[in-house]
Amino acid sequence: MSIAENYTTILQSISSEVTLIAVSKTHPIDAIKEVYAVGCRHFGENKVQELIQKNAALPNDIHWHMIGHLQTNKVKSIIPFIHLIHSVDSLKLLSEINKEASKINKVQDCLLEFYIAQEETKFGLSQNEAFEMLTSEQFATFKNIRIKGIMGMASFTDNAETVKAEFGQLKQLFEATKSRFYANNSSFDTISMGMSGDYKLAIEEGSTMIRVGTTIFGSRNYSTI
Ligand SMILES: *Cc1c(COP(=O)(O)O)cnc(C)c1O
């Protein structure tokens, strides 16, 4: 199947309530254009430099999602065009996003990245860290941030029970955060979870946004980038 057919097949298999983000990291502009041509407007990248280059080369009705770890010194360069930052994992990062967004009068949509996987390598906040952040005096001063929901990654394992339990945990973190901080706020509505190997399970567990790379574009060849 072609890249465009891969995208369309997934799109047709999921509920229209779930946003499908085509994770185009490492893949060329032409591959993105093929998926764009069949209607995709949500693309995910994890490197700032690549985001900037692709944004400049592609139509401006694309919604770009930053899904990778974001360093504070790189925030400034993506704020003008980034649609949603999935990877907020510190107050320091949020403060920088707020500062840069305020300079251009933008309210930047963000997700809090939670740590749920067993592995040590994943970034993200614990519930305590997130709640501390949301109750801090500094957070209350951020006028140019809108927290839309949460993001997380399950462990990289074939064990469906483990993955399912971790997605369930993420859904609970979403509910706990919502009831404590966003109970009357309908824009806190996003659970970004699920990738190529586990998006079906993620949707069963309540995902509203899936980030799919390999199943659309094929495998990534990091050495050519
Ligand atoms: C690369 C990446 C994805 C997509 O992974 P696939 O397994 O290729 O679908 C999703 N989320 C994040 C955070 C990623 O870095």
Nearest Cα residue to 25 out of 195, 156, 206, 200: 195
Cα 151 to Cα 39, 45, 49, 65, 103, distances in angstroms: 24, 15, 22, 12, 26
Distance 105 CA to ligand 1 centre (A): 31
Which pLDDT score, from 0 to 100, does residue 201 have? 97
Tens of pLDDT, residue by residue over 17-52, are 999 999 999 999 999 999 999 999 999 999 999 999
> Which of 112, 195, 221 for a ligand 1 pocket mutation test, highest count of atoms within 8 Å of Cβ?
195
- Per-position DSSP letters for 109-133, written without gaps between them: EEEEEEP-SSSSS---B-HHHHHHH
> Which of 86, 89, 211, 214 for a ligand 1 pocket mutation test, highest count of atoms within 8 Å of Cβ?
211
Distance CA 21, CA 153 (A): 15
Tens of pLDDT, residue by residue over 115-174, are 987 776 668 999 999 999 999 999 999 999 999 999 999 998 999 999 999 999 999 999
Nearest Cα residue to 48 out of 68, 28, 23, 19: 68
Distance CA 166, CA 155 (A): 8
The number of beta carbons lying within 10 Å of the beta carbon of residue 120 is 6
Name residues contacting ligand 1 (CB within 6 A): 23, 25, 46, 67-68, 153, 195-197, 211-215
